[in-house]
Amino acid sequence: MGGRNGKGPPGRRVAKTNLPSKPCASCGRPFSWRKKWERCWDEVRFCSDRCRRGRQASSPAVE
Ligand SMILES: [Zn+2]
């Protein structure tokens, strides 16, 4: 049995991802960049399709 392995990488944590993020226009939660948005990240405003559509369901634009 061995106690500790004297060898190993130093306590250095490398960020898994260095992706941009921004708040969802619907739920307000920050969401991270996704591969599928690589071409339209600038236009993405919602974290998911649910949020994108969710707005119409609960708040009809009727005045
Ligand atoms: Zn959202």
With H, G, I as helix, E, B as strand and everything else as coil, classify residue 55: helix
The pLDDT of residue 30 is above 60: yes
54 C-beta neighbours (distance < 10 Å), count:
14
> Which helix (H) or strand (E) segment is 30 a member of?
strand 30-32
CA of 42 to the centre of ligand 1 (A): 16
With H, G, I as helix, E, B as strand and everything else as coil, classify residue 56: helix
Higher pLDDT, 44 or 16: 44
CA of 51 to the centre of ligand 1 (A): 5
CA of 5 to the centre of ligand 1 (A): 44
Pairing of strands 21-23, 30-32: antiparallel
CA of 16 to the centre of ligand 1 (A): 23
Provide the pLDDT for residue 13: 76
Give pTM, 2 decimals: 0.57
